[in-house]
Structure 1
Amino acid sequence: MTLFKFAPVALCLAASSLLFAGATQAQTAAPKAAASAASAQDLAKQAEGQLAAAGWLSMLDQRNWGGAYEASSQTFRNMVQIGQWMDSIPGVRAPFGAFESRNASTVVYKTTLPGRADGEYVTAIFETDFANKKSVEEVVTTVREADGKWRVIGYSPR
């Protein structure tokens, strides 16, 4: 049984970009500066969300199921009861064996996700090697909660 039976989370991995054009350099200077500032802010948010996702995954690697649950977002904990989590996540991870290595392959910042309230989301896809299975894609979506902290709202290994 997959974790998504307990925690259906739509993940949107498409990134959008803004293009600014103008007739003169003077007309395009302000939009380009705004785009650069927005890009820098988005990159910082991506890094924060990715760091939160990686830390959460390290709890799973250590089989700290309860710690990972408590570190998850309130929305996640509302969707998945602790008993369901403790019954399902060991079975999801056990076939992979021990953790060996992990690298982020894609990180995307979004302000909308299908089926979720507007907010700030970062979806990170990690390429992970385990003892029993190499090249597992772990998709982790984090959300910035009201206290400003990034917490996991969705997880799917594939």
Structure 2
Amino acid sequence: MKNIIVVLCLFISTLTWAQTLKVVDVATEIAPATSWLEVVDSGKYANSWQQAGVFFQENVPKALWVSKLEEVRAPLGKVQSRQGISRQELTAIPQLPDGEYVILEFQTDFENKADSIETVTLKKSAEQWQVIGYFIQ
């Protein structure tokens, strides 16, 4: 439980600590995030953990991830609409090694909660973008 809270808080704090911030078109790097979100949307929470990046897997145990998504995400219901609203490129995030990061925000209407904001954080690893953080407001 402590690990997931630390991971979620870390990604919330990235918005405040970002030193090299650039907001541009959401289209770039969106495919890995939306593919991963489709796995979450389908309720395959264990698969979403398996498809996440190494940092995520090392800091959030699979069983904890699955139980938290069942607790938080499942009650929201099916996605009615999802639209990218921002994209931020970062090279430094506190408590993470320097690298290439992208934070994507989506305005999402769920069956049981409209006007939600989903934040997906990706890290470039071996020339691939991998999800290392997910947060719903």
TM range (shorter): 0.7 to 0.9
Q: Please, which runs of 5 or more residues in structure 1 have no aligned partner?
A: 18-41
More strand by share: 2
Q: Is the 8 A contact 1:3 1:92 kept in 2?
A: no
Return the index of the structure with the highest Cα Rg.
1
Alignment partner of 1:76 is 2:77:
no
Residue 75 to residue 3, structure 1, CA distance change in 2 (3 Å): closer
Residue 3 of structure 1, CA deviation: 8.7
Distance between the aligned counterparts of 1:71 and 1:87, measured in 2? Answer: 17
Hey, what does 1:47 align to over in structure 2?
28
Q: Percent identity?
A: 30
Q: Is the 8 A contact 1:3 1:156 kept in 2?
A: no
Residue 16 of structure 1, CA deviation: 3.7
Select 2:80's aligned residue among 97, 100, 118. 100
Q: Secondary structure at the match of 1:135?
A: strand
Distance between the aligned counterparts of 1:70 and 1:54, measured in 2? Answer: 15
- Aligned amino acid, residue 5 of structure 2: K
Hey, what does 2:112 align to over in structure 1?
132
TM-score by length of 1: 0.74
Residue 66 to residue 98, structure 1, CA distance change in 2 (3 Å): same
Deviating more after overlay: 83-92 vs 103-112: 83-92
Task: Say how many residue pairs are matched.
Answer: 131
Distance between the aligned counterparts of 1:106 and 1:128, measured in 2? Answer: 13
TM-score by length of 2: 0.84
Select 2:36's aligned residue among 47, 56, 71. 56
Q: Is the 8 A contact 2:4 2:59 kept in 1?
A: no
